[in-house]
Amino acid sequence: PHLAVVSLFISTGTFAHLKLPSISSPSLDLALSVLYSVVPPALNPLIYSLRNQELKAAVWTLMTGCF
């Protein structure tokens, strides 16, 4: 699970530095900065809560539709 956060962090940073200046826009820069700075810390509580077996079973039940 932490690999997903690290790869998101690295890929958004890489894209931000390698994007062409011709496709630069304020809205794209804002979206990249949000992905880079807000999303990884927001995902960490979700990742740590998925270690709980009861929560993992509840998420599995929701995803498979078996009630």
Task: Provide the domain limits for residue 18.
Answer: 2-64
Q: How many domains does the chain have?
A: 1
CA dihedral 7, 60, 47, 5 (to 10 degrees): 10
* Amino acid type, 29: D
Q: Which two tokens stand for residue 44?
A: 């960490």
Is residue 64 scored above 70 in pLDDT? yes
User: Considering only CA atoms, which of 9, 51, 57, 53 is closest in space to residue 34?
Assistant: 9
Token pair 């929560």: residue: 55
pTM attached to this predicted model? 0.51
Q: What is the pLDDT of residues 21-63, one digit of tens each?
A: 777 788 888 888 888 888 888 888 877 777 788 888 888 888 8
